[in-house]
Amino acid sequence: MAEDSPKRRKANFNEAETEVLIEQVLKHEQLLFAAGPGRASPGQKRKVWELIRHKVNPVAACPRDVEDLKKRWRDLKRRDRSKLCRLSQGCGPPGPPALGLLLAPEELPPARRPRR
């Protein structure tokens, strides 16, 4: 068996990548996550994720693919729900999505951080 270099993990998402990802997903949220008869086809969703990828990659530390972006989005939502659960002390399903409302100041995009 040939000795290839071991697979290295990608760099963590930086602030700029996360900011662009959140901005773009929220901009296209209805198309990506709507349920019911008016929802988008898988092909339309794939095109939107590709568009988001093209917006994130110019500010990315390393090239990201669509699966990387989807995973990061799921992780952001999970972390936000986890914080909501800890604050409310009742781990039931949260109310309306509040992404960004419960983030710590250092987790917010620079434009949304409180001034000191």
* Residue 113 within a domain: no
pTM of the predicted model, to two decimals? 0.68
Domain range spanning residue 46? 15-87
- Determine the pLDDT at residue 104: 60
Considering the domain boundaries, does residue 10 fall inside one?
no
Which pLDDT score is estimated for 37?
A: 84
DSSP states along 55-112: HHGGG-SS---HHHHHHHHHHHHHHHHHHHHHHHS--S--SS--TTTSS-GGGS-GGG
What's the confidence (pLDDT) of residue 56? 97
Weakly modelled stretches of the chain, pLDDT under 50: 1, 95-96, 98
- Looking at the structure of the chain, the number of domains it has is 1
Query: What pLDDT score does 16 carry?
Result: 94
pLDDT reported for residue 49? 97
| Residue that the structure tokens 């994130």 belong to | 56
20 domain-assigned:
yes
